[in-house]
């Protein structure tokens, strides 16, 4: 009864698509045409989800082959290309929090496929921002995404477990080696008490940040760390 009322109400509420302004139905905030045109990853490394040029089941990217990873899996909904890159920039730097809902909901669709035969993590851990950045920006985009994702995946979020102790330089202009140096020792962690966690970031580039956090969590007794991200950058 309540469910059918909910669907009836949904069909009555028409909103405009955040990207093209065409009509779309609540709660999506993106129209079907725009959702279908978002850049999906065709072929990816089976461990870190780095986009690969060819389909090759069971294939690992160069980094995963050479060094392995501290995390156990990585799931990304999209390639970091327009319009997903614009949506994430607007969410992160221009207070356009309305983008969090469709991005989290689309990531949830990808995750539901990924975890069809696998156990879900117990908790979502958003990548923390340093206190200074949090004050400047007013919110942490990963925490905002995590709140939406929590509802879709029915898993709680813990945004107090991890802490960023110093503000790092933006990773964008750094090489892979510099990125690793840049994030080393940046985070601290309370005693987790979890066995299996999902670390949530908006974008994963080389994976230096999520690797550092996975290493830290595993040192504190976490057995299984999965990475969830909205977008993965194409290989540079």
- What is the Cα–Cα distance from 37 to 35, expressed in whole angstroms? 5
4 vs 67, beta carbon nearer Zn ion = 67
Q: Does 17 help bind Zn ion (rule: CB under 5 A)?
A: yes
Binding status of residue 61 toward Zn ion by CB under 5 A = yes
Within 10 Å of residue 36's Cβ, how many Cβ atoms? 9
Site string for Zn ion, 37-56 (x = CB under 5 A): --------x-xx-x------
Please state, in angstroms and rounded to a whole number, the distance separating the CA atoms of residues 61 and 140.
Answer: 30
Q: Which span (31-39, 77-85, 104-112, 149-157) binds Zn ion, by CB under 5 A?
A: 31-39
Half-sphere exposure of residue 17, counting CA atoms within 13 Å on the CB side? 12
Our finding on whether 127 is near Zn ion (CB under 5 A) is no
DSSP category for residue 7: H
- Among 28, 34, 123, 222, which residue interacts with Zn ion (rule: CB under 5 A)? 34
Instruction: For residue 124, give the 3-state DSSP assignment.
Output: strand
Which of 20, 134, 155, 167 touches Zn ion (CB under 5 A)?
20
Q: For Zn ion, which stretch binds (CB under 5 A), given 32-40, 75-83, 163-171, 172-180? A: 32-40
| Number of residues near Zn ion (by CB under 5 A) | 12
127-159 per-residue burial string, b: 16 or more CB within 10 A, e: under 16: bbbbeeeeeeeeebbbbbbbbbbbebbebebbb
Burial class (CB in 10 A: 0-12, 13-18, 19+), 189: middle
18 touches Zn ion (CB under 5 A) = no
Closest CB 88 distance from Zn ion, rounded Å: 17
- Residue in 29, 31, 127, 179 binding Zn ion, rule: CB under 5 A: 31
Give the interface segment with Zn ion, choosing from 33-41, 88-96, 125-133, 175-183 (CB under 5 A). Answer: 33-41
Closest separation between CB of residue 60 and Zn ion, Å?
Answer: 5
Tokens of 170: 């933006």
Torsion over CA: 74, 183, 223, 199 (sign): negative
Binding residues for Zn ion, per CB under 5 A? Answer: 17, 19-20, 22, 31, 34, 45, 47-48, 50, 61, 64
């Amino acid at each position: 009864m309540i469910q059918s009322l909910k669907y009836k109400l949904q069909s009555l509420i028409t909103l405009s698509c955040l990207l093209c302004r065409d009509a779309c139905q609540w709660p999506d905030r993106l129209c079907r045409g725009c959702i279908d045109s978002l850049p999906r990853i065709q072929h990816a490394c089976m461990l870190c989800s780095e986009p690969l040029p060819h389909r090759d089941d069971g294939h690992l990217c160069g980094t995963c082959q050479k060094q392995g990873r501290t995390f156990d899996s990585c799931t990304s909904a999209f390639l970091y290309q327009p319009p997903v890159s614009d949506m994430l920039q607007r969410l992160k730097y221009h207070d356009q929090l309305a983008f969090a809902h469709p991005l989290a909901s689309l990531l949830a669709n990808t995750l539901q496929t990924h975890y069809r035969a696998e156990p879900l993590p117990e908790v979502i851990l958003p990548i923390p921002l340093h206190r200074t950045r949090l004050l400047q920006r007013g919110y942490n985009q990963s925490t905002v995404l995590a709140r939406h994702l929590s509802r879709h995946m029915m898993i709680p979020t813990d945004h107090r477990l991890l802490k960023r102790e110093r503000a790092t330089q933006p990773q964008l202009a750094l090489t892979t080696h510099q990125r690793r140096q840049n994030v080393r020792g940046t985070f601290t962690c309370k005693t987790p008490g979890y066995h299996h966690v999902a670390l949530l970031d908006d974008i994963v580039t080389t994976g230096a940040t999520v690797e550092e956090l996975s290493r830290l969590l595993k040192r504190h007794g976490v057995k299984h760390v999965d990475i969830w991200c909205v977008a993965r950058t194409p290989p540079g």
